Structures are given as C-alpha cells and as structure tokens.
Chains A and B, each alone.
Chain A
Amino acid sequence: MNQEMESTGTSADTSPRGLKFILSEMKPRGKLFTPFNIISIPVILLGIVILVIRFTKGLGVVTNLNQEYPWGLWIGFDVVTGVAFAGGAYIITFAVYVMKAEQYHRLVKVTVLNGFLAYLFYAGALVFDLGRPWNIINPIIGNKFGYNSVLFLVAWHFMLYMIAELIEFSPTIAQWMRRKKAEKFLKKITLGAVIFGITLSTLHQSGLGALFLMAKPKIHPLWYSEFIPILFFTSSIFAGISMIIFEGTISHRVFRALQPKDDRYSVDDLFRGLAKGAAVAMFAYFFFKVLVFIHDHGWAHFQGFWGIWYLIEVVGLVLIPCLMFAYGARHKRIGVIRFAAIMAMLGILLNRMNISVIAFNWDHAVRYFPTWQEYVVTLMIIFSEVWVFRWIVTRMPVFSDDMPTRDQKQSLE
C-alpha cells in the first residue's frame, strides 16, 4: 500500500504518507475569529452540554416532548425536513449519470457531499432523540427485525443510502489521497451506486411520509391523506433542487476562490435548467395536492385558522414559487429563481413540520413548543455539518476537478 502511494504521489504541495498525511490535513487552516466561527463555536459547545444533560437526566429535562407529542423539533425538523432537503443528491445524480445531462457535472460532487453530510448529521440526530439508543443495533444486526414497520424500512434505507452516497463521493476522496488506481475503480462502480441510491431515495423519501399513515386520527384532515408517501416523494424533488440552488448561491460566494475559472456552463445557466425542473415538479405536486383536497372533501375541514394555514402552505409557498421558478427560468431572472428557491424551502419546512408537529394532535388543549435547548441542539447540528463541509471542500477537489491549489487555499484565508 505504502509503495503504491509513493509511486503515485505527484509533485503536489503535500506528499501523502497515510496517517501522517491525514493528520496534517486535520490541522485547522485559516483565521479562527471569523464571524461564522464566533457564532458557531459557542453554539456547538452549548449543544454538547445540553446533550450531556439529556443523556444523564432524560429527554424531558431539556425538551418539551410529552406523552401527547412524542416527536418534536428534533424529528420534525432535523430528520423529516433535513432528509427532504438532502434529496438534491439523488436528483442531480439521476440527471448526470443516468440521463447523461453532462452540463450539470460540476454540481454533482458538491451536491452528493452535501447529501451525504445531511444524512450523516440530520438522520444521525435521530440518535439524540432515541430513548434507548444502545439498542439501535437491534434492527440492524438482525436479532430483532420489525419487518412490518415503516420505520424499520426507513432506518435500513438511511443506512444503505449513506453507503451509496459515500461510494458516489469516494473517487474524490481517492483523488485527495492520490490513489489513482482506487479512484479509477471507484469511478467504475459509480453508476451502480447511483441507481441503487435513487431507488433507495424513492423508497425512503416516501417512507418518511408513510410513517404518519397510522397517525390518522391525530393529524388534521387537511394534511392527512393516504397519499402522504407520494406527496412526500414528489415534494422531495423540488426540495432537493431548491436546496442545490440555495446552497450553490452561498458557496459560490463564500468559496469563490475554489470555483473553476473557465467552465462551458455558467452557474446561472445551470440554475435556470434546475428551476425548470423544479417548476414542473412543483406543479405536479400542487396538482396532486388539489386532487387530494377534493378527494378527501377538503372543503368540509377548510375553516378558521387551519384553513388559512393550509392556504399559506399550498398556495403561498408552493404555487407562487412554482410560478416564480417558471418565470425566472423563462426570462433569465436569476434573482427570482433564488428567491423562489427560498420560498419553496420554507414551504417544505412548513409542510413537514405541519404533518409531524403543528397539525399533529391539532385539537389538543396543550400544544407543544420546542424549548430553547431543542433549538440550540438543532443549530449545533447544522453548524457542525457546515464545519465538516468547509473542512472537506478546502482540501478535496469538490468544486472543480483539480485539487485546490495553494493559491486558492491562501486566498480563502
């Protein structure tokens, strides 16, 4: 192994020597006191303290979860919403590897990395919410398989999909470690991993919706439908696309130095293509929502606060951003597209939170509101993901096909 590495090691700025190389890459670079660090470090430390209390004293000490609201912010936002936003990875790999839409290639690596980290952190946040996390291996190692449980299916798919995404991203890691042979081999199995990954995504994106099928008497009838799984899957398409646009806009500014200098397709052109896709998916979703509304006699429940709340979600944050995407794509208005992406993401957030928390036990006298500790832990998860993301993109060839040069790294610092 060592020999091979030395022989393939090129004249790049650091010559890789296994563990030593990784340790040298672990070292933090750049300034410590950036605005992001000043905000995120205290939040992460506070989050760790809260988690220590949570694991020693119980969930009820730091959260407002109770017998009527067993799932709160950590499941409703971190897991259910976070996974929907991570849907971009299966959309973009479908476009590039299956449909051979090569122009989106420059978005693939960063989106897959984002998807993988999202699953690692947001689905990983599930562990904080588990009351008896030491039994988490039970559904995996096979001593107790709950075959007839949707959650069993979702848990397995999370795990398998994370492996698939790791394989999709692994050529970049191999390139970073300068292992040419491994990189070549890993590139060959990418298409297989992509097809496996898309299949898993279809099933667990809809499976997250299927979790709520048995909560029929508890969810407000405007949100409960036997078609929740299909609605969740359809909406994960534009949730993922909106996230690509949102995240791409930010990292295009923050990591400007790492972007490739000359590319045949500008990011704006790619976003226009994505906006078209999002508009189509959103219209299909909206149409489906209307069908479900009529099918389930929505007018009978369409009244008061919940009627308006439903309208805000379905018209305000689905139909309007859908039209904005279409308009922006047609008239080359990139600002409109970016704004539509943010609105669409808010719509997804509202939809997932409605089904899992807000319209859940909607008729109960005492409602659930998250404690500040629940918000801090959620922020901690987001911030730590950004930290890991930043660590990877400044070391591995994520934004462009070449390794980040010393100049690029320095200009970031």
Chain B
Amino acid sequence: MERRGFLKASGVVAVSLACSSKSKASHDESPFTEDEFIGVLVDTTRCIGCRHCEVSCTESHGHEVPDILNDNALQEQRTTSEKQWTVVNRFETSKGEVFAKKQCMHCWQPACAAACPTNAMEKTHLGPVKWHPDRCMGCRFCMISCPFDVPKFEYFSANPRIEKCTMCWERLQEGMKPACVAGCPSDALVFGQKHELLDIARQRIYHHPGRYVHQIYGECVAGGTGYLYLSAVPFDEIGLQTDIGATPYPAYTREFLYSVPFVFFGLPSLLIGLNMLACRKNSIQEEGEE
C-alpha cells in the first residue's frame, strides 16, 4: 500500500508540475508591455475589398505579389495558401456585399502548438504563433488539429515548410505594425493589445448598435483568438466558422494526457498483482493434482 501511495503522490506531483510550467510559459515577461497578447481587430463593415493587405503581406514576406487590378480573384472563394498568408473574400450577405480577410487567427491557446511533438509551432510570449524550421519534422499534425485549417504544407518540395501568417514577427521585433495593418487604407484593421482591441470593438458596437451584430468573433471562439472580427451580418455569412465552440483546443486532449501518468504507474502494479494471483492458482492446482 505504501508503495502505491507513493506512486500516486508522484503522479500527482508530475501532473501539477506539468500544469505549473505550462501556465508559467504563457505569463513570461514581455518586452512589449504587460502580460498581454497582441492582436488585430478586423472591422468587416469598413473593409472595401481593395486587397492592399494581400499586397503588403506578400511584399513583406517575399512571396509573389498578386495583381489585384486584373486577376479577378474576388470572383471566387479563396483560402490562404503556402504562398499567400492572407486573402480577402467577397460575400453576398443579407446586408449586401461584405468583404472579409482571412489569415491565421493566432489563438490564445493554439491547437497547432499543443499538437506539435517538437514544439515547432510556438505560441510566443507576445501572442503571434510562429513556426520553427529547425524543429519541425513535417508530421502535419498541426494541420489536422487546427480548427481554422490555417497551416499549409509545401507538398511539392524536397525541403517542405509549414507556411502561415506570423503576424509579421520580424516587423514586430523592429517595433512596426503587421504589414496588412500598415497597408490597409480604410482603417478596417486595428493593431493592439487584447484589452484595447476588445474595448474598441465594444465601443463601436455600443455607439452604432444598428450597424453591428452584437458579438465579437474571436472573443470566445476556440478559447479566444488574436484576430477579432466585427461584422454587420451573422458571422457564418462572411465565412467564419461558427461550429467551433468556445473550448480552447488543447483542452480536448488534456484529460487523456493527464490520465497517462496514472495508467503508467497504476497498470503495472495491477499486472504484477494479477501475475502473483495466477502463479498462486497454478501452484495450488499442482499441489491438488499431486
């Protein structure tokens, strides 16, 4: 019994250590300001569909720049790709034509980072989710797990990379805003800290109750995201998934992972016990036969 108690206790300690190290990671000191993630507020009522965010994004990451005047890309629904980390789509809604930008949501508790066996997907202390080429082994479990289908894989390369929006990590280091925000001519994008963005969003809803749906997409979805959306129409009309729920994605595997140490220590003791019983039964039987 003593041994079992010890094993139990050590299991509990291991679990609590795992918890504490996790919560510590998300509260690291940030050079930006206090312990808060940064993000971007997308006000789809202000977006005019000019696709300048696409241009500045591709320019600043050295991708092929789309020809926004001639390529008629708004004719169809597009998803982000390994060569284009943000795209604008046009939606015919109950309140007419609406444009909405798509990119990595930079979840507060990202599924991709929880899924990654090598920590190649990293939730940085500032908030952007970043990919490390020297760690990734290309298993694509991040793509399976991401509820927004954001990470893209280079299927036609011998040295493939996982590509997705980084919220312009390099620009942030130099004190600049993300390229899409800087390139937006209509003030549809606001860059800032989580509480600032939520304040701005709530203020806009409060002052123009007729213009907006009284919800902020990203405040709760998947446990909260770095990109927040305001909209005049229900969110599913502008291509945002509404079937995701408010649970942070890592929570779906947490129970399983927490049960691991208990099985790891508990099951062997059970098996040893069963083995002793079986041996005893056999020896009694043999004696009986004699």
Q: Which residues from chain A sit less than 8 Å from chain B, CB to CB?
A: 55-61, 63, 65-68, 70-71, 94, 97-100, 126, 129-136, 138-139, 144-153, 155, 191, 195-196, 198-199, 202-203, 206-207, 210-218, 226, 229
Chain A neighbourhood of B153, CB < 8 A? 59, 67, 70, 131
Chain B minimum-CB-distance residue to A230: B256
Q: Using an 8 Å CB-CB cutoff, how does the interface string of B118-147 with A read, 1 for contact, 0 for none?
A: 111000000000000111111111011101
Chain B neighbourhood of A63, CB < 8 A? 155
Known contacts A135-B135, A148-B257, A217-B243; is-contact A212 B118 (Cβ 8 Å): no
What 6 A-B pairs are tightest by C-beta distance, nearest first? A131-B138, A60-B155, A152-B117, A132-B138, A70-B140, A214-B145
Chain A minimum-CB-distance residue to B162: A131
Would you call A97 and B79 a contact (CB within 8 A)?
Answer: no
Would you call A149 and B18 a contact (CB within 8 A)?
Answer: no
Q: Among the listed A99, A195, A206, which residue makes an inter-chain contact with B268, where contact means beta carbons less than 8 Å apart? A: A195
A70-B143, A126-B139 known, 7 other contacts, Cβ within 8 Å: A67-B81, A100-B282, A131-B153, A131-B154, A149-B115, A214-B144, A218-B147
Would you call A196 and B268 a contact (CB within 8 A)?
Answer: yes
Q: How far is the CA of A152 from the CA of B135 in the complex (A)?
A: 13
Chain B neighbourhood of A135, CB < 8 A? 118, 134-138
Some 29 contacts from A to B, beta carbons below 8 A apart, are A98-B271, A98-B274, A98-B275, A100-B278, A131-B137, A131-B160, A132-B137, A132-B159, A134-B137, A136-B137, A144-B135, A146-B116, A146-B117, A148-B250, A148-B253, A150-B115, A155-B117, A195-B275, A196-B268, A199-B271, A207-B256, A211-B141, A213-B252, A214-B114, A214-B115, A214-B147, A217-B241, A217-B243, A217-B244
Q: How far is the CA of A148 from the CA of B243 in the complex (A)?
A: 25
Chain A minimum-CB-distance residue to B137: A135
Chain B neighbourhood of A229, CB < 8 A? 256
Is the C-beta of B204 less than 8 angstroms from some C-beta in chain A? Answer: no
Question: Within the complex, what minimum Cβ distance (angstroms) separates A154 from chain B?
Answer: 8
Is the C-beta of B6 less than 8 angstroms from some C-beta in chain A? Answer: no
Is the C-beta of B284 less than 8 angstroms from some C-beta in chain A? Answer: no
Would you call B114 and A148 a contact (CB within 8 A)?
Answer: yes
Q: Among the listed A136, A195, A198, A213, which residue makes an inter-chain contact with B256, where contact means beta carbons less than 8 Å apart? A: A213
Q: Which residues from chain B sit less than 8 Å from chain A, CB to CB?
A: 18, 22, 79, 81, 111, 114-120, 133-141, 143-145, 147, 149, 152-160, 241, 243-245, 249-250, 252-253, 256-257, 260, 263-264, 267-268, 271-272, 274-275, 278-279, 281-282
Would you call B268 and A59 a contact (CB within 8 A)?
Answer: no
Would you call A198 and B267 a contact (CB within 8 A)?
Answer: yes
Question: Within the complex, what minimum Cβ distance (angstroms) separates B48 from chain A?
Answer: 28
Would you call B155 and A216 a contact (CB within 8 A)?
Answer: no
Question: Within the complex, what minimum Cβ distance (angstroms) separates B280 from chain A?
Answer: 10
Would you call A203 and B114 a contact (CB within 8 A)?
Answer: no
Chain A neighbourhood of B149, CB < 8 A? 67-68
Chain A minimum-CB-distance residue to B116: A146
Would you call B256 and A210 a contact (CB within 8 A)?
Answer: yes
Would you call B155 and A65 a contact (CB within 8 A)?
Answer: yes
User: What secondary structure prevails in chain A residues at the interface with B?
Assistant: helix
Question: Within the complex, what minimum Cβ distance (angstroms) separates B274 from chain A?
Answer: 6
Would you call A195 and B253 a contact (CB within 8 A)?
Answer: no
Chain A neighbourhood of B260, CB < 8 A? 153, 203
Chain B minimum-CB-distance residue to A126: B139
Chain A neighbourhood of B114, CB < 8 A? 148-149, 214
Would you call A217 and B147 a contact (CB within 8 A)?
Answer: yes
Question: Within the complex, what minimum Cβ distance (angstroms) separates B111 from chain A?
Answer: 5
Would you call B158 and A71 a contact (CB within 8 A)?
Answer: no
Chain B minimum-CB-distance residue to A134: B137
Question: Within the complex, what minimum Cβ distance (angstroms) separates A127 from chain B?
Answer: 9
Q: How far is the CA of A136 from the CA of B117 in the complex (A)?
A: 10
Chain A neighbourhood of B81, CB < 8 A? 67
Chain B neighbourhood of A215, CB < 8 A? 144-145
Q: How far is the CA of A198 from the CA of B18 in the complex (A)?
A: 25
Would you call A132 and B136 a contact (CB within 8 A)?
Answer: yes
Q: How far is the CA of A63 from the CA of B253 in the complex (A)?
A: 29
Would you call A131 and B144 a contact (CB within 8 A)?
Answer: no
Q: How far is the CA of A148 from the CA of B22 in the complex (A)?
A: 9
Q: How far is the CA of A378 from the CA of B267 in the complex (A)?
A: 34
Chain A neighbourhood of B250, CB < 8 A? 148, 214
Chain B neighbourhood of A61, CB < 8 A? 156
Would you call B257 and A151 a contact (CB within 8 A)?
Answer: no
Question: Within the complex, what minimum Cβ distance (angstroms) separates A94 from chain B?
Answer: 8
Q: How far is the CA of A82 from the CA of B245 in the complex (A)?
A: 33
Chain B neighbourhood of A136, CB < 8 A? 137
Q: How far is the CA of A128 from the CA of B18 in the complex (A)?
A: 32
Would you call B156 and A60 a contact (CB within 8 A)?
Answer: yes
Chain A neighbourhood of B279, CB < 8 A? 100
Chain A minimum-CB-distance residue to B160: A131
Chain A neighbourhood of B116, CB < 8 A? 146, 149, 151
Question: Within the complex, what minimum Cβ distance (angstroms) separates A392 from chain B?
Answer: 28
Would you call A133 and B156 a contact (CB within 8 A)?
Answer: no
Question: Within the complex, what minimum Cβ distance (angstroms) separates B198 from chain A?
Answer: 24
Chain B neighbourhood of A198, CB < 8 A? 267, 271
Chain A neighbourhood of B245, CB < 8 A? 216
Chain B minimum-CB-distance residue to A100: B278
Question: Within the complex, what minimum Cβ distance (angstroms) separates B250 from chain A?
Answer: 6
Q: How far is the CA of A62 from the CA of B143 in the complex (A)?
A: 20
Known contacts A59-B160, A67-B81, A149-B114; is-contact A199 B144 (Cβ 8 Å): no
Q: How far is the CA of A65 from the CA of B139 in the complex (A)?
A: 12
Q: How far is the CA of A160 from the CA of B96 in the complex (A)?
A: 59
Chain A neighbourhood of B156, CB < 8 A? 57-58, 60-61
Specify which of A66, A136, A151, A214 lies most central, judged by the most chain B CB atoms within 10 Å of its CB. A214
Would you call B263 and A98 a contact (CB within 8 A)?
Answer: no
Q: How far is the CA of A147 from the CA of B117 in the complex (A)?
A: 7
Specify which of B111, B152, B271 lies most central, judged by the most chain A CB atoms within 10 Å of its CB. B271
Chain A minimum-CB-distance residue to B255: A226
